[in-house]
Amino acid sequence: MRILVTGGAGFIGSHIVDAYINAGHEVSVIDNLSTGNKNNLNPKAKFYQADIREDISVLIKEINPEVINHHAAQIDVRVSVSNPAFDAGANIIGTLNVIEAGVKNRLKKFIFASTGGAIYGEQDYFPADEIHPTRPLSPYGVAKLACEKYLYYYKHNFGLDYIALRYANVYGPRQNPFGEAGVIAIFTHKLIRGEQPLINGDGLQSRDYVYVGDVVKANVKALGTEFTGELNIATGVETSVNELFSNISRVSGKNITASHGPAKKGEQQRSCLSYEKAKSVFGWEPAVSVAGGIKNTVEWFLKNPR
43, 64, 98 from 155: Cα distances, Å: 34, 19, 15
Whole-angstrom distance, CA of residue 16 vs CA of residue 31: 14
Alpha-carbon dihedral sign for residues 235, 237, 238, 241: negative
Whole-angstrom distance, CA of residue 95 vs CA of residue 84: 15
State in Å, rounded, how far the first CA of the chain is from the last one.
Answer: 35
Q: How many CB atoms lie within 10 A of CB 82?
A: 11
Which 3-state string (H, E, C) describes 228-297? CEEEEECCCCCEEHHHHHHHHHHHHCCCCCCEEECCCCCCCCCCCECCHHHHHHHCCCCCCCHHHHHHHH
Given 48, 140, 167, 211, the catalytic residue:
140
Whole-angstrom distance, CA of residue 190 vs CA of residue 196: 6
Phi/psi of residue 133, each to 5°?
-55, 140
Phi/psi of residue 62, each to 5°?
-65, -45
Rg (alpha carbons) of the chain, rounded to whole number = 19
11, 103, 110, 154, 302 from 159: Cα distances, Å: 31, 9, 11, 7, 47
Active site annotation includes 140: yes
Question: What positions carry a catalytic annotation?
Answer: 140
